[in-house]
Amino acid sequence: MDKQTTAPIGFNITFATMLSLAIDMGLEFPLRQTDVHGILHLREMELKRQAVYGSCGRKAYMAYIAEGLGNMMDWDEVMKFQRENGSLFCCPSTTAGVLIRKYNDQAHQYLNSLVSEFGSAVPAVYPSKLHCQLLMVDALERMGISQHFVNEIKNILDMAFSHWLQKDEEIMMDIATCAMAFRLLRMNGYDVSSDELSHVAEASTFSDSLQGYLNDTKSLLELYKASKVSLSGNDSSLDCVGLWTGNLLKDKLCSSTLQKTPIFGEIEYALKFPFHATLERLEHKRNIEYFDAWGSLMLTTKCSSFHVNQEFLALAVKDFSFSQSVYQDELQHLDSWVKENKLDQLQFARQKLTYCYLSAAATIFPSELSDARISWAKNGVLTTVVDDFFDVGGSKEELENLIELVEKWHEHHADKYYSEQVRTVFSAIYATTNQLGAKASAAQGRDVTKHLAEIWLDLLRSMMMEAEWQRSQHVPTVEEYMTNAVVSFALGPIVLPALYFVGEELLEHAVKDQEYEKLFRLMSTCGRLLNDSKGFEREGSQGKLNSISLLVLHSGNSMSTEAAKKVIQKSIDKSRRDLLRLVLRKESVVPRPCKELFWKMCKILHLFYFQTDGFSSPKEMVGAVNAVINEPLKIQMSDASLFISSEK
């Protein structure tokens, strides 16, 4: 009688029917007659409500709860929902309820197989093995501990892919399982088509399903997440799914009853942060801290035991806490490096060490990838310094001198510095690049220092090109601008050297391959256009041209600023999808861990420019830095061993 209690699907009907049968058998209950009448009344009200609807979803629902409807059902109609394994909806109780009234050999065999396997008590849903295993893979990825279970995860996903290719009903007949399988398989590099989700491309087709008729929030959320894993314009059905599921989920956030449930926070987070605009370590921390809430939705008792769930949580807590201690040590090292190279004494330069390190620690998060994080962060600091030097700090002569020194590299002469500023900037680039080059060369088994120096030279020359355009008031074409801008955006020195430190052999022919160049171009295009879009007004006030103002100018002002922004947004979306497709493609000369760094940077850029210029939003960024690096996990753990793990 408690309306706040979460009840099984169709409980008002099935329980009331059980009660009626028991009363007819002469059983007595310690219940007030008014309560019995109330329960039976709820059943009648539910049946009247169901009679109003005539959708396919309603028919599926009525078949699902057929055990509670008795002679009211047309059992031939119910049998239309029988699955290949003999069951009705993979539900033992529904199958048994139907079998009592209409014998079917396949249904009988299904129930016999369950009793043989489980004995006197069977699961509420069977089979559910694949669904549970996918939930487990998702949980391990969400808590940042999937790297400890690489082989196990591969085995599960290989099996899921095999089922997917066979269009097995265990995947295809359940919308939430199908959507989750699609997302996990695609993001792990399996070639799965979005066509398998086309049957729910419209809200109307979803409402015709059992899950749609039940207004199943979990299925909606899984579909919404799946819709975001789009790789090209050919995935248009995913865009449709994302649109209507997003609207329905926004409506659900307004529901007062949903606000009291664990799934509310999951919906709120999914809608606020697209998966391509998140920092992994921030997500891991949130998921560990809120494990009790979302874990109750995902790793239910039918999928894994409480003990297994707590062991996963304990491992995640221990892993995250240990990584934080590593991050703190690395940040101290980086702070000393800044001072040793006198970068903190450059008056023109923004001091963005913690931001640069955050982007490394929050994405290249495994503790053993220290060299990759250090390389990423140091070069992030140096590119910020160089950017400011070209923008405000250096004269034409100083900039030319810096480029000349990098061109000569080992042959440069100490007495040829135009100024102390040039000495400081060049010395930091030279020393740091040589140090990183020596480490990378040792890791790769070949000399890569020359390549690292070339990356810096390409950046400086492209920055000089922009400086000359501004001095001469030259208006480049959009194509000229973008060809130069993908280099001048300064992601080369940050991302490309780090590729040598992720534990994979990156061969020289791979570095010269078109795939390598395309990965870099797509990532940099996203960054440049995101920056242009969010910084348009600020840069316009400084007299700087960017892709938006160039589109307007070259149209003869026939294109409005808003129209130009829409064009740029389409280019961002296309570049992001093309990049993800290239990263996930299995046939590749660039190793997958290396390709993933391009995608990680793309995600960082989308988050940094989510609302405005990332470097201009200190409050949000400081909060993120503290969450990833400094603040310990805030988790209430009933298990004492978990508490001990977090303290370590």
> 616 falls in which pLDDT band (50, 70, 90)?
very low
Q: Which residue has the higher pLDDT, 51 or 591?
A: 591
The confidence band for 648, taking pLDDT boundaries of 50, 70 and 90, is very low
pLDDT at 304: 59
Looking from the CA of 469 toward its CB, the CA atoms found within 13 Å total 19
SS (H, E, C) 87-137: CECCCHHHHHHHHHHCCCHHHHHHHHHHHHHHCCCCCCCCCCHHHHHHHHH
**By percentage, how much of the chain surpasses pLDDT 70?**
93
Summarize the confidence of residues 373-385 as an average pLDDT.
97
Nearest-5° Cα angle at 122, 118 to 127: 90
Using CA atoms, how far apart are residues 399 and 464, in angstroms rounded to an integer?
A: 7
Query: Is there a contact between 591 and 505 (Cβ–Cβ < 8 Å)?
Result: yes
Q: By mean pLDDT, which of 121-130, 170-179, 275-284, 492-501 is the weakest?
A: 121-130
26: left (phi over 0), alpha (psi -120 to 50) or beta: left
85-107 average pLDDT score: 92
And the tokens for 585?
Answer: 């493609």
User: Is residue 88's pLDDT more than 90?
Assistant: yes
pLDDT of 215-246, one tens digit each?
Answer: 889 999 999 999 999 998 778 889 999 999 99
Rounded CA separation 465/489 (Å): 12
Residue 200's contacts (CB-CB under 8 Å, 6 or more residues apart) are 175, 206, 209, 212, 223, 241
Residue 524 or residue 616, greater confidence: 524
Mean pLDDT to the nearest integer, 1-11: 74
554: confidence class by pLDDT, cuts 50, 70, 90: very high
Half-sphere exposure of 6 (CA within 13 A, CB side): 6
Q: Which residue has the tokens 């994979």?
A: 504
Q: Look up tokens 């921390």; give the residue.
A: 285
pLDDT tens sequence across 563-610: 999 999 999 999 999 999 999 999 999 999 999 999 999 999 998 887
Give the pLDDT of residue 30: 83
Task: Using the predicted structure, report yes or no on whether residue 455 has a pLDDT greater than 90.
Answer: yes
Q: How far apart are CA 209 and CA 200, in angstroms?
A: 9
Q: CA 592 to CA 33: how far, in whole Å? A: 67
Q: What is the DSSP letter of 578?
A: H
Residue-wise pLDDT tens digits, 488-546: 999 999 999 999 999 999 999 999 999 999 999 999 999 999 999 988 887 777 778 89
Task: Tell me 461's DSSP state.
Answer: H
pLDDT confidence of residue 613: 53
Residue 639: per-residue pLDDT: 43
pLDDT of residue 73: 85
Per the document, the length of the chain is: 648
**pLDDT, averaged across the chain:** 89
Q: Is 473 exposed, middle or buried (0-12, 13-18, 19+ CB in 10 A)?
A: exposed
Q: What is the mean pLDDT of residues 328-339?
A: 97
Give helix then strand counts, H and E, for the chain.
33, 0
Is 60 exceeded by the pLDDT of residue 646? no
Q: Is 476's pLDDT higher than 60?
A: yes
Rounded CA gap, 174 and 219, in Å? Answer: 9
| Helix extents (H) in 305-419 | 306-340, 353-361, 370-388, 396-408
CB 444 within 8 A of CB 423: no
Give the separation between CA 552 and CA 571, rounded to whole angstroms: 16
Q: For residue 343, give both structure tokens.
A: 């970068």
642 — pLDDT class (breaks 50, 70, 90): very low
Tokens of 328: 């703190």
250-272 pLDDT tens trace = 999 988 778 777 788 889 999 98
Identify the band that residue 560 occupies on the pLDDT scale cut at 50, 70 and 90. Answer: very high
Q: Using a pLDDT cut of 90, give the percent of the chain over it.
A: 63
Cα angle at 449 between 587 and 594, to 5 degrees?
A: 25
State how far the Cα of 531 lies from the Cα of 143, in Å rounded to an integer.
31
Q: What tens digit of pLDDT does each residue of 129-169 get? A: 898 899 999 999 999 999 999 999 999 999 999 999 999 99
Tell me, what's the pLDDT at 177? 93
Name the β-bridge partners of 492.
Answer: none
Q: Is 228 exposed, middle or buried (0-12, 13-18, 19+ CB in 10 A)?
A: middle
pLDDT band at 644 (very low <50, low <70, confident <90, very high): very low
Region 275-296: mean pLDDT is 86
Task: Tell me the Ramachandran region of residue 209: left when phi exceeds 0, alpha when psi lies from -120 to 50, beta otherwise.
Answer: beta
> Is the dihedral angle over the CA atoms 94, 96, 100, 102 positive or is it negative?
positive
Average pLDDT score over residue span 73-82? 90
Task: Decide: 489 and 524 in contact? Cβ < 8 Å.
Answer: yes
Give whole-number Cα distances, 140 to 127, 316, 325, in Å.
Answer: 22, 9, 22
pLDDT at 205: 86
Residues 6+ apart with CB under 8 A from 368: none
**More confident position, 304 or 314:** 314
pTM for the full predicted model: 0.89
pLDDT reading at 301 higher than 80: no
For tokens 């000369």, the residue is: 589
pLDDT band at 123 (very low <50, low <70, confident <90, very high): confident
